[in-house]
A and B are shown apart, each in its own frame.
Chain A
């Protein structure tokens, strides 16, 4: 793809972000920005998953696990009271460099927590380590084995966060402090900060999108596509398929984790449902509807479907809607919404009826 097209797409994206904000401002439904902001953080995971599934061709039904790892670790570190350890050398060191700090809790007591930035850094590093540990054996697998292994990983994360008292078990973790950025701006869910947070979240998506678009139009993206198409031939051309798959897996895991970290600070809490299998399946569904190897398609679908889902338009049928979407898309349009394959079905039906006549 030429650079001109890239800039047109990116600037179009930027104008849509601004347009949506203005639209909510003038129509007086600025409260929609809350769900739009949350969608942005989910979109971060979705475009990462799109890179992994669509471009490198490796399915993952466990990405909610990475989202939860990011969210839970940063939530835990920023809320767990470390006061009892405050005399340990390492903590004194942490306090000195500002990685750990005292703050007031809800009841006015003084608690010692990790600074959100330090917590986020630790969460990302842990995500990378886990992704490498899981990814290196898992990515040797193909097809059903890969799908089941990633699904298994997702369930393990879910069970662990659900069964661990320190992570709040079924209630999750709440009262998470805001994530401070520059000039007193912070990632939190307060209505005064709503517009700010909308732009913060979508800026993160915008930057990530720019990086990923660059990536897929480069030597690396070409190699990923080659791995997807014919793994043996790409190895014969000198592509280290193991390394490329692993790096893509780690990259997508980090994006999921970052999404989890910011959403947790934005919501002020996280619960085990973020790690559930159905969430992972939803992400796969969105990438599939977007057209698999289509970053923009996944992003648009991620925005629309997450927004509708978060606003509760699907009511109690939320999960069923995503399940149905998955089936319908995969039956009639495995290449995404734009390339509909109704033809196969019609051919089959008409052939059948002719035969029976």
Chain B
């Protein structure tokens, strides 16, 4: 069954057609990679799926439900979490607090109950803390819990951001260039994490420039060029696809 269905999506900025008639599916439980040269519209597509932008035309379905016209903040409660190309951690908060924000959609204490500090909020808070620590342990960064998130190294920040997205317990995880700025060892680790995340039953859609990483971990690859889909296949066939080679290397 397809978890995510994108149908005839269009988006333009002024005169620039950033995404043009793109359709694809993401099957439940797979890792799908989105590649293409710079300016191909990958990040725009990501922003459309995660609700930051609204499409001009076309539809997006998640688990059979339309998500192209709902407010951005509701996307997370549907079960879609994302990371950002330029890391967007919350400043002046520790790594643990950053990850705890990820549990937002799974908790429900409101203004009044928080002000009165009702007992159920304590329980909720304790669970949030435990769950977040668990995730840090899973990603091997539990010693960073009480450190200010923005003072971490770049690689560590990427992992904390990943943990924050995982804390949402998403069905679909959108990773925007998860290996950007990482060294070779960190990139390899990131690849292992992504595979582990899939084993947890989370479907992953990622944008990535590191081809060796993409070819190693993904089940399917979608290639975009100038806003249009030019190929969609398994990694091996993609590597042999003439059109893709032409786009990347020129004729």
Direct contact of A and B (CB under 8 A): yes
Tell me, yes or no, whether B124 is within 8 Å of chain A by CB. yes
Looking across the interface, which residue of chain B has its beta carbon closest to that of A225?
B93
Q: Does B196 contact A (CB under 8 A)?
A: no
Partner of A223, one of B52, B77, B104, B121: B104
Using a Cβ cutoff of 8 Å, how many contacts connect chains A and B? Answer: 95
Contact between chains at A219 and B73 (CB < 8 Å): no
Question: Cβ of A211 and Cβ of B125 under 8 Å apart?
Answer: no
B72 nearest CB across to chain A (Å): 5
Pick from B10-18, B81-89, B207-215 the stretch touching chain A.
Answer: B81-89
Given the complex, which residues of A lie within 8 Å of B110, measured CB to CB?
220
- On chain B, the number of residues with a Cβ less than 8 Å from chain A's Cβ atoms is 38
* Nearest Cβ on chain B to A220's Cβ, whole angstroms: 5
| Chain B residues with CB below 8 A from A214, complex form | 114-117
Report whether A233 and B111 are in contact in the complex, using a CB–CB cutoff of 8 Å. Answer: no
B91–A230 CB distance below 8 A: yes
CB <8 Å contact, A232 and B90: no
Structural contact, A251 and B76, CB atoms closer than 8 A: no
Across-interface contacts of B128 in A (CB, < 8 A): 219
**B115 in contact with A212 (CB, 8 Å):** yes
Question: For the complex, is B23 an interface residue (Cβ under 8 Å from A)?
Answer: no
User: Cα distance A251–B114 when bound, in Å?
Assistant: 13
Q: List the A side residues contacting B90 at CB < 8 Å.
A: 225-226, 229-230, 233-234
Known interface pairs A214-B115, A214-B116, A229-B93; A235-B72 also in contact (CB < 8 Å)? yes
Asked if B88 and A226 make an inter-chain contact with CB atoms under 8 angstroms apart, the answer reads no
Residues of A contacting B92 with CB < 8 Å? Answer: 225, 229, 293
Q: Give chain A residues whose Cβ lies under 8 Å from the Cβ of B121.
A: 218-219
Q: How far is the CA of A251 from the CA of B109 in the complex (A)?
A: 16
| A240 touches B (CB below 8 Å) | yes
Interchain nearest-CB distance for B154 vs A (Å): 17
B162 CB-CB contact with A under 8 Å: no
Cβ–Cβ contact B104 & A238, under 8 A: yes
User: For B93, what are the chain A residues with a Cβ–Cβ distance below 8 Å?
Assistant: 222, 225-226, 229
Query: Digit string of A28-64 for contact with B (CB within 8 Å is 1, else 0)?
Result: 0000000000000000000000000000000000000
Select the residue from B52, B90, B100 with max chain A CB neighbours within 10 A: B90
Classify chain A's interface size: 20 to 34
A243's nearest neighbour on chain B, judged by CB, is B73
A194 in the interface, Cβ–Cβ < 8 Å? Answer: no
Indicate whether A269 reaches chain B with its CB closer than 8 angstroms.
no
Q: Are B76 and A238 in contact (CB under 8 A)?
A: yes
A103: interface (CB < 8 Å)? no
Given contacts A236-B52, A238-B105, list 20 more A-B pairs with CB under 8 A. Answer: A211-B115, A212-B115, A214-B115, A214-B116, A218-B109, A219-B128, A222-B101, A226-B93, A229-B91, A230-B90, A233-B88, A235-B52, A235-B73, A236-B75, A236-B82, A238-B73, A238-B77, A238-B104, A239-B104, A240-B71
Interface CB pairs A-B, < 8 A, 28:
A211-B116, A214-B114, A215-B111, A215-B114, A215-B115, A218-B117, A219-B128, A220-B109, A220-B111, A220-B114, A225-B90, A225-B92, A225-B97, A226-B101, A229-B92, A230-B90, A230-B91, A233-B84, A233-B88, A235-B52, A236-B75, A236-B82, A236-B88, A237-B164, A240-B73, A241-B73, A251-B111, A293-B92
Tell me the B residues contacting A by CB distance below 8 Å: 50, 52, 71-77, 81-82, 84, 88-93, 97, 100-102, 104-105, 107, 109-111, 114-117, 121, 124-125, 128, 164, 168
Top 8 A-B residue pairs of the complex, sorted by shortest distance between their CB atoms: A238-B76, A218-B114, A238-B105, A233-B88, A229-B90, A211-B115, A214-B117, A220-B114
